[in-house]
Amino acid sequence: MRSLRVNAEEFSSRRGTHAALRNVLGEENYFGSNLDALYDCLTSVSEPTELRINNWSYALKHLGGYADRLWHVLSDSTDENPNLTIIIE
């Protein structure tokens, strides 16, 4: 299983959020800097992968409602892709 980790302290803005996620997911897999692109990337993961996001409270504090939309994309992605596990701490 591929294990990926990202610190939500890098999620200080929408741009920073997508840059941090692109960095951990791999630029070749993640095109665009929006939630649709993130969903497409996550649902196309073809090998068992665990993505762990630490310090989620930081994202909630700095992204406001965008953090809620991000959480829904993450959750929907795991529902759609059996190869993907996302742990939010």
Domain CATH for 28 = 3.30.370.10
Interval 80-85 mean pLDDT:
98
24 falls in which pLDDT band (50, 70, 90)? very high
Beta-carbon contacts of 17 under 8 Å, excluding residues fewer than 6 positions away, are 10, 11, 59, 63, 66, 70
Is a pLDDT exceeding 80 seen at residue 77?
yes
Interval 2-25 mean pLDDT:
96
Least confident of 24-28, 34-38, 77-81: 24-28
Residue 69: Cβ within 10 Å count: 12
Alpha-carbon distance 78 to 72, whole Å?
Answer: 10
Strand extents, DSSP E, 40-80: 49-54
pLDDT tens for each residue of 27-72:
777 888 999 999 999 999 999 999 999 999 999 999 999 999 999 9
Assess contact for 48 and 59: CB atoms under 8 A: no
The SS3 call for residue 17 is helix
Is a pLDDT exceeding 90 seen at residue 78?
yes
When divided into structural domains, the chain yields a total of 1
pTM: 0.93
Residue 12 belongs to domain spanning: 2-88
